[in-house]
Structure 1
């Protein structure tokens, strides 16, 4: 699968004539609006299937596209595609402007504090909230206060399993605005990002 780039997931049929709704994972509208070859990846499979995208349109505010695929002309056929991934070849990448990056290239880059040289963590996701945000999982996880063991004698048998089921703690992360002033250096060749956070940003975003 190293040769493929996932651009979206089919989440539901749209109407009765075989159109499908696609949750986009791409910043390029032409991936869903421009006719041409795409590839489908069924759930729990590594076997891709070629398909022709006939047309598509964007649903404002939802990061959802409605697309028509060749050979899918009824809601029942569209329903069968629920959960399928839509792929393109990694070699088929739109041309980027200066200081633009593909999301897949940013994930797993190491993040360094430009002033101190400290390796803070690794980019694990890109979030959209007005400006894009880098989600950085910290290498140095903060110590957390251990809670005392509960008194089992005060918990009913009926609710023991539900109440005492251990919760998995998510690793602490930082959210870094992906703007030039805060992220002045992105070096894809060395797998390195340098940030210059304003005072209080690291402490405010740590969670």
Structure 2
């Protein structure tokens, strides 16, 4: 399974350096000099890291195969990927490990399945496909934080949610409440 390490966001400077949007928590290892990264689309790579650095909160990388700004501009949107099976960290999962897991509430009610993990500016979010009581489906983004997703059981094929009221589409009708003035 391919794991996205980063996505090229733009060229930086004139000598082929690019700025990256990271998808890894270990950029020092994944972007070390000499690392060879496959790409999506595959025709662009593989790319070999010749220099990497963090600058103003962003990672900037130079590749042996990219000689100038024009070539760097052509990389915009390219994903840098590595082969990975399963995360070896506790409480850390790759998106492909989560995809397809059953989504349950704490009381065991099945509400749908995980479609993917999306990277948001503040934190990751699970994109789930809810099965609605009327037989339809809805796609819902659920913040992937311990308070809302307390259980991830890959071996058991499930994640457990404790969502606040109104987060799930199935709660849309229940979210409208009249309030009496005191």
Which residue is equivalent to 1:118? 109
Which residue is equivalent to 2:50? 54
Which residue is equivalent to 1:107? 99
RMSD of aligned alpha carbons? 3.3
Q: Which segment drifts farther, 68-77 or 27-36?
A: 27-36
Which residue is equivalent to 2:71? 77
- Figure out how many residues of one structure are paired with residues of the other and give that number: 170
Indicate how the Cα distance of structure 1 residues 41 and 29 shifts in structure 2: closer, same or farther if over 3 A, else same: closer
1:1-150 equivalences under 5 Å are 2=1, 4-30=2-28, 33-41=31-39, 43=41, 46=42, 49-58=45-54, 65-90=59-84, 95-96=88-89, 98-115=90-107, 117-124=108-115, 125-128=117-120, 130-140=122-132
Gaps of 5+ in 2: 176-182
Which residue is equivalent to 1:197? 163
Deviations 1:67-87 (A, max 9, x none): 111242321332333343211
Structure number having the greater strand percentage: 2
* 1-structure distance, mates of 2:16, 2:166: 51
Asked if the contact 1:122/1:137 (under 8 Å) is kept, the reply is yes
Asked if the contact 1:111/1:192 (under 8 Å) is kept, the reply is yes
- Higher Cα Rg, which structure: 1
Which residue is equivalent to 1:177? 143
* 2-structure distance, mates of 1:68, 1:94: 27
Gaps of 5+ in 1: 145-170
Q: CA deviation at 1:60?
A: 5.0
Indicate how the Cα distance of structure 1 residues 131 and 77 shifts in structure 2: closer, same or farther if over 3 A, else same: closer
Normalised to the residue count of structure 2, the TM-score between the two structures is: 0.71
Normalised to the residue count of structure 1, the TM-score between the two structures is: 0.64
Indicate how the Cα distance of structure 1 residues 87 and 129 shifts in structure 2: closer, same or farther if over 3 A, else same: closer
Asked if the contact 2:16/2:66 (under 8 Å) is kept, the reply is yes
* 1-structure distance, mates of 2:100, 2:118: 11
